[in-house]
Amino acid sequence: MTSALDPGVSRGATPDADNPPPRRDLGRTFVRGTGQTLLTIGLVALLFVVYQLWVTDLLAARAQDQLSEEVQDRWAGSPTVTSPSAPADPAAPAPHTPATIDVGVGDPFAILHIPRLGEDYARVVVEGASEVQLEQGPGHYIGTAMPGEQGNFAVAGHRVGRGSPFLHLDRMLPGDPIVVETADSWFVYRVLGDPATGSFGGDPTGIPGREIVRPSQVSVIAPTPGGPDGGSPTDAFLTLTTCHPKYSAEQRLIIHARLDGAPVSKATAPDGPPALLG
């Protein structure tokens, strides 16, 4: 008697090459595999974002705490923080000559105070602007001027991640003070532009207080911003650079400022100059 069932396949048997699974099952398998792959990629991307936005900030904050302790300990033992000598004219303010700064790559040597970015905004600046230094905080472009010197004291900093020291640099306005603290001195720089109108292009020097440039435009950190790399400085400037827009490195946001007045001795103003105190 011939069975009604196919003699080559019994109940519950696994389909072989002669009996492929239905296309519907293949489609389901493909969709399931694709979904799992996309889910894994999404999870990895999410973890990367968390690392970039939060973990690196925590690591940078810890590094800044350590740098702050290091630089304060170094300054506490510095013989340069002394009372200034009496001036020849008792009515005239005592002259102050800042100590020369001699620092190695990676060493902290200054603290950047920007009241516009918060009353307690203070970031330790290290020597060098490579990724290794910028992971700790703002970094000084090697070869540019030191605080208070003729030329361009240029500092780079991350905008997002690694502590995000320059996250809100776009909030700066013409005339805003940027105060640089060193072992024995305070230096007050003010953002270029016209404070009355808020125009960054209204400064007599012709140097804009704020500009957005390509990463290759290194003239922004020249001795005179925008001038030739080997040119003579025309004044004492400060330049801050960071990525633009946020979450992108396509361009650079630049803030230019100029030294406002003489350096202030920390011996006579231990808590800072009026521009810092508000």
pLDDT of residue 82: 46
Residue 174: CATH number of its domain = 2.40.260.10
Q: Domain tally for the chain? A: 1
Q: Please report which confidence band the pLDDT of residue 91 belongs to, taking 50, 70 and 90 as the band edges.
A: low
Between residues 93 and 25, which one has the greater pLDDT?
25
* Domain-located, residue 12: no
Residue 155 lies in a domain: yes
In a domain, 168, yes or no: yes
User: Using an 8 Å Cβ cutoff, are 241 and 155 in contact?
Assistant: yes
Specify the 3-state DSSP secondary structure of 84: coil
| pLDDT tens-digit readout, 223-276 | 999 999 989 999 999 999 999 999 899 999 999 999 999 999 999 999 999 999
Structural domain boundaries, residue 69: 51-79+105-277
Tell me whether residue 20 is in a domain. Answer: no
Establish if 87 belongs to a structural domain.
no
Q: Is residue 124 a contact partner of residue 111, using CB atoms and an 8 Å limit?
A: yes
Would residue 25 count as lying in a domain? Answer: no
Q: pLDDT at position 24, please?
A: 65
In a domain, 160, yes or no: yes
User: What is the pLDDT confidence band of residue 277, given thresholds at 50, 70 and 90?
Assistant: confident
DSSP symbols for 186-237: EEEEEESSBTTTTBTT--TT---SEEEE-TT-GGGGSSSTTS-TTPPPSSEE
Mean pLDDT of 18-28: 63
Over residues 95-99, the mean pLDDT reads: 91
Total-model pTM: 0.79
Q: Residue 172: inside a domain, yes or no?
A: yes
